[in-house]
Structure 1
């Protein structure tokens, strides 16, 4: 372990000290003396730091903590280090990640939920205060090399476009010198939307050529580490490796899935029993722990439709394969550090899950998880699911497993991701590996800890103080507790004695072994729930000194103790910006009601050829309303072909393009239902406007509408779209102008053939009343009016 040196490091950047002393006239004068130039470095002995964050993995998923998903490399790390069995997260991805990166509670850093549902309330606005500098920035300003690979999901949604601002991006204010990964909450593992720094890039090869995102991220991480050690061997690094696996969509090569064929025919109830037994054998739960029962909201395996069970088994086979595949690539990264002979001097945190296993896949799972997010799970009938059995995990899927599997992956605890009240949502297994700093190999640690404890642990290990000033701004103190005290003392009294929990109004408080909790909302019920009054929520009480799994509710036997903890929760909630509690649903999706900014304002947006990788929040919202889209083009003599504008991709979206010379409007509902409206005649050569007008039926969300196509104001085709997606087209696909990146909305073209072959001057999207145009043509004067309105 490093010790602090004599450099003043509490004010960052470290102030430069000017030379004080004799200045000679001639450099050859023997009195000419200047101290040598020294590159900034951390204190001597500061370790490299590697933080590996697995996504959406429950405590009972990976074999290193007793689960059914084989993770030999995780086990190898644990055999050479420590397993922490009472480590906790926030129950959701963005909040856990921001807490990890800042050492503060998620509401303290504005991340009370994911960025897409941010509100104006301080605890939920997704804006990181400059009084809470991230760990990576502190390390960089102390001389560390810093890099992030994989998932970000901390950037406010109105700042996710290629136009920035980039102060919340990893290489902006995040403190990372290099970033390779994705900005949103999830990504297609076969065809991801990638950024290098702040520049959108395309994957280096195709799925047909063997591409998979986890492998790509690992390749980049290994290359970066090798370069650092080859060129700056004395400079430690901080690497944050967050691959996005095993978050949905569950994508993995078929040969990995085949390894698990038939392994889950026993179902989720039996799987919990098997995992529970194995966990006791490993000692990662208490010897007298109880296996918590299944809640009535979760169906028994035996009650599931027998016709659907092959699909349910396949869902779990895919997930287990995805986890093992991820373990394999983490192993490659660890082996690379060993080959560079720096593994012993590297502090590794392996956090198996940023929250509990995800129950966002419906009671039967999903072939395209966007169906549930759009309130349309009924489209995925058992017959449809069975027809896709062999495609789960492949390029044509965007799948998620059933709620029952999520519950099983959280063995032995109650509930799942999003449920911050119970350990099923927040308890995640952690492995710490650091041969130079941890004496015991294969040890277990039972001290209570939380994801906000990582940052202060890293600073203490590096011999660095928490900064008081960063970039001239006074810093608030870390809210976590360093775990270093427990590295070499298994019996040390735990120091993190109090911790509140809250997510979607599911609440909990831990204090000196006791916990009081209340569940307010069920994760897989995405909309239309009637929320109870907060004061009507039923609280439970558990004595952790005797009850490892929150199995024995003592609330009725010990009401005074319960009230004590409820008051403590309220005190902590006020302290850390948890209030006001907010259980609104659809209202938080609407930016006007939520109070967050919009990147694009008004009812019209003008886009230009070559603009691409525009996130859904970077484009006016056409959902559940009438709209028109107009492309001003110049068509070559051989006729038009290619995309004018496309939003979304294979799993949901829309596109206006030229096919065999004719204009075509294509609406793709979740990759299940498709609606095509094609013009009757080819687009004339020379200058032209192609316009599609969509008139929404109204009457709620996801309704249909009529479509008309025009060439320079003349109607050339019409048709109907019977249903639409009301909330989101995609979590990772984007909008492109003049071509389409990622997967394609329509099968009429590929990414490589999508580029428009003529000249595309501009594309304009108009909403509502602004979409109504008597002559169905946008004149130059109208374009100027729209442009001036946006000044």
Structure 2
């Protein structure tokens, strides 16, 4: 660090530029010419590099480093050189944990009371980051750090995720990262992801057939970035946030990794918890007198499961374990690439942004979108068994059963989404920093929370919390630095009070005690009857004697329970948790939830070349009648390729030309499909191709009649017997003139999908607006639609 940056005031960011004062000479050769050197801002002397690795959807008892069945030798190696934190906590869900980590504030304080897709107008649930709470990456960048993020970003409000932006909530927009390579949203297809570099959509560098896998690609990019950074700026520390999206569903991993675990889970989930529990005691990552909590009645015993289904259930867990080990392997590659720089790199490895996920139904899923659409029953035991060899591969979109999630959270109760119990929020964490931590292979039992990471990093770097960022006064961090515990295993814990809330499952920790109440069951995706909040049953646990929340003391000590309930309410008011919101369908509808939408009205016009449009960027055609009209310029040799497609292999629809004829294809979850083809070729020259879908009605996910038209004349008719009522995909998008990612129809591939003519426009109309007497849109109608959207 130069003298010019030694005494600068870092509490106001950006650090203000200083004007030159004094004599200005006429000739630069004049001996009186004096200018201070140009200031190149650097952090204080000795500030470490920072690498934060956040694994996705991992329970406390999943990885071998914390006693679980998934082999993680690189995690173990890192722990052997640093510290394992056995009482580190998250928020019980992905977006909230990530925003809390990145800002040092509680998730409701930064508007992330849930995932972005169900944001409401309430301040604690808006998904909008207040400008009074600048991200850690921004603070570090403005203090001279190089910054980069790789992998998952699920913090962008859904109405800002289209290619039109705004990009203020994206990592390289207002997130403080100079470089981003990854995906926007909750999950992604590991074999064929929707990727961004900065804010620009890009295609994966290889195909699945060529050996592509997202985790490997992210690691390659991260290694290239850090090597370049150290080669060109060796005196400048870096902050890297590596959040690969593994091991969130879909569980995708090469077959050779799955084969390592063949037959290793035949004993089932009840026995697996016992095995893990024993290992955890041997490792010391739970207390010697800890009690293994029993299985709740809502979770079936392994012995209760259909014997015909058990091979598929075993396969689900084999795939997940392989996915975890595969992720460990690539994290190891990244750690090895640091070389000597690892000595002064503060590494946080947080093994899970929440507990293991119970979102895969009681039997698991080959395509998890079935459950998200309320159609889990379509995946019968016979269907699951027929797909046994495909689990984990590119034709699957799988998730394991609830029982495996429960087992992966050993020894705790419940799972992801259940913020009331440690099964949802306690995540094994490793901290490694040779220059700052003396002990190797140590254990730490102080209570910590993900909001503690940001203040820890700033204290380690010698950087103060900023008072002002970009002219806006900042609110203080709400976390507590963990630095005090790095070299003192017996230090009194400083993070003494922490509230929890997710989907109205809520809890409070205070000086060893915890009071909790579960309100909602994670795998019940809709139609669940919610109790009144005042009817929720609270439990009380004494953490000084009960490591696992196994003995409810609420009846024995009602006064203590009431004290903690009041404290929860105080904290809830302080941090924007209220009003509690257990609405379900209402929060999916933007109008009822009170969040903005990109698309308003019943008509939308799209143009050739538009793509990577998320479902929130396109009018919703589900559960209603609609039409799609396109104006094409067709070559003499005939039309070929995609006009417009939404979704992909695991659900969606496409209007395209094949062998010169118009065709409509509706794909239900990759399990059922319906195709309607025109009887006549599309004429060459300028022409209109239109499809009309007349919905049967009578509820969600019903069928309907399809009619195809060329220039207003009927050329084909057929039926779609079933549709998807809620969502096509978590990662696939809408494209005009081609289809990216996986394809809705097997009639073409992403590489052969490009339309061979010209598409002037495509218009989607809903409901009554889809009705057209002559089945043709003239120029006057087009102008009306365009003007209506001003």
- TM-score, normalised on structure 1? 0.99
The answer for unaligned runs of 5 or more in structure 2 is: none
Q: Secondary structure at the match of 1:499?
A: strand
Separation in structure 2 between the aligned mates of residue 492 and residue 50 of structure 1, nearest angstrom:
25
Q: Which residue of 1 aligns with 2:498?
A: 499
Residue matched to 1:178: 179
The separation in 2 between residues aligned to 1:26 and 1:389, in whole angstroms, is 81
**CA deviation after TM superposition for structure 1 residue 587, in Å:** 0.7
Deviation of 1:723 (Å):
1.0
Q: Which residue of 1 aligns with 2:243?
A: 242
Partner residue in 2 for 1:336: 337
CA–CA separation in structure 2 for the residues paired with 1:37 and 1:415: 56
Q: What does 1:589-628 correspond to in 2, within 5 Å?
A: 589-628=588-627
Give the whole-Å Cα distance in 2 for the aligned partners of 1:90 and 1:382: 34
Structure 1 position 579, deviation (Å): 0.4
Aligned: 1:302 with 2:303: yes
Residue matched to 1:520: 519
Q: Give the corresponding residue for 1:719.
A: 718
Q: What are the equivalent positions in structure 2 for 1:196-595 lying under 5 Å apart?
A: 196-338=197-339, 341-595=340-594
Distance in 2 between residues matched to 1:21 and 1:602, nearest whole Å: 63
2:105 corresponds in structure 1 to 104
Give distance in 1, aligned partners of 2:127 and 2:37: 44
Q: Distance in 2 between matches of 1:599 and 1:137?
A: 28
How does 1:50-89 map onto structure 2 within 5 Å? 50-89=51-90
Instruction: Give the 4+ runs in structure 1 shifted more than 3 A.
Output: none
Equivalent residue, structure 1, for 2:161: 160
Question: CA separation in 1, counterparts of 2:114 and 2:306?
Answer: 35
Task: Please give the per-residue CA displacement for 1:686-707, whole angstroms capped at 9, x wherever unaligned.
Answer: 1111101011111111111111
Q: Which residue of 1 aligns with 2:15?
A: 14
Which residue does 1:135 correspond to in 2?
136
**Hey, what's the Cα distance between the residues in 1 that align with 2:23 and 2:629?**
72
Residue equivalent to 1:35: 36
SS at match of 1:36: coil
Report the Cα offset of residue 26 of structure 1.
2.2
CA-CA distance at 1:25 after TM superposition: 2.2
Whole-Å separation in 2 of the counterparts to 1:60 and 1:150? 24
3-state SS of 2:65 partner = helix
Shift of 1:783: 0.4
- C-alpha displacement at 1:33, in angstroms? 1.4
Instruction: Give 1:601 deviation, angstroms.
Output: 1.0
Separation in 2, partners of 1:721, 1:535: 46
Hey, what's the Cα distance between the residues in 2 that align with 1:181 and 1:438? 32
Give the SS at the match of 1:765: strand
Residues 1:467 and 1:509: Cα distance change in structure 2 (over 3 Å)? same
CA distance in 2, matches of 1:345, 1:614: 42
Cα distance in 1 for partners of 2:196, 2:693 equals 33
SS at match of 1:342: helix
SS of the residue aligned with 1:653?
strand
Separation in structure 2 between the aligned mates of residue 545 and residue 586 of structure 1, nearest angstrom:
41
- 1:184-239 deviation per Cα after TM superposition (whole angstroms, max 9, x unaligned): 10000000000000000000000000000000000000000001001111000000
Deviations for 1:7-27, whole angstroms, at most 9, x for unmatched residues?
Answer: 100000000011122222222
- In 1: Cα distance, 2:350 partner to 2:118 partner: 25
User: Alpha-carbon deviations, 1:350-393, whole Å to 9, x = none?
Assistant: 00000000000000000000000000000000000000000000
Query: Which residue in the other structure is 1:783 paired with?
Result: 782
**Residue 772 in structure 1 maps to residue 755 in structure 2:** no
Q: Any idea what the Cα deviations from partners look like across 1:406-443, whole Å, max 9, x if unmatched? A: 00000000000000000000000000000000000000
Q: 1:143-179 deviations in whole A, cap 9, x for unaligned?
A: 0000000000000000000110000000000000000
Distance 2:65 2:737 in 1: 48
Query: How much does 1:535 deviate?
Result: 0.3
Q: Corresponding residue for 1:692?
A: 691
**How many pairs are equivalent?**
788
1:258 and 1:755 map into 2 onto residues whose CA distance is: 37
What are the Cα deviations for residues 309-340 of structure 1, in whole angstroms up to 9, with x where unaligned? 000000000000000000000000000002xx
Q: Distance in 2 between matches of 1:634 and 1:17?
A: 60
Query: Which stretch has the larger CA shift, 381-390 or 22-31?
Result: 22-31
3-state SS of 2:338 partner: helix
In structure 1, the residue matched to 2:759 is 760
Matched residues in 1 for 2:725 and 2:209: separation? 33
Structure 2 SS opposite 1:708: strand
Please tell me the root mean square deviation across aligned C-alpha atoms, in Å: 1.0
d(CA) in 2 for partners of 1:439, 1:784:
71
For residues 62-91 of structure 1, the C-alpha deviation after alignment (integer angstroms, 9 at most, x for no partner) is 101000000000000000000000000000
Structure 1 residue 345 displacement after superposition: 0.7
Shift of 1:5: 4.7
Q: For residues 116-127 of structure 1, what are the structure 2 equivalents within 5 Å?
A: 116-127=117-128
Give the deviation of 1:279 after TM superposition.
0.2
Work out the CA distance in 1 between the residues paired with 2:27 and 2:123. Answer: 60
SS in 2 for 1:489: coil
Instruction: Tell me, in whole angstroms, the C-alpha distance in 1 between the residues paired with 2:17 and 2:74.
Output: 44
Q: In 2, Cα distance between the equivalents of 1:781 and 1:729?
A: 33
Give the unaligned 5+ runs of structure 1. none
Mapped partners of 2:546, 2:492: distance in 1: 18
Q: How far off its partner does 1:400 sit?
A: 0.1
CA distance in 2, matches of 1:22, 1:495: 53
Mapped pair 1:709 → 2:704: no
- After TM superposition, give the deviation of residue 6 of structure 1 in Å: 1.9
- Offset, 1:38: 2.7
1:749-791 CA deviation, whole Å, 9 max, x = no partner?
Answer: 0011100011111100001111110000000110011111111
What secondary structure sits across from 1:259 in the alignment?
helix
- Match in the other structure for 2:628: 629
Equivalent residue number for residue 681 of structure 1: 680
Give the Cα–Cα distance (whole angstroms) in 1 for the partners of residues 7 and 68 of structure 2.
47
2:540 is paired with a residue whose SS is: strand
Distance apart, 1:35 and its partner CA: 1.1
Alpha-carbon distance in structure 2 between the residues aligned to 1:727 and 1:112: 22
What's the counterpart of residue 48 of structure 1? 49
- Tell me the SS of whatever aligns to 2:325: helix
Q: Secondary structure at the match of 1:195?
A: strand
- 1:487-523 Cα shifts (integer Å, max 9, x gaps): 0000000000000000000000000000000000000
**Residues in 1 aligned to 2:202 and 2:613: alpha-carbon distance in whole angstroms:** 12
| Aligned-partner SS, 2:102 | helix
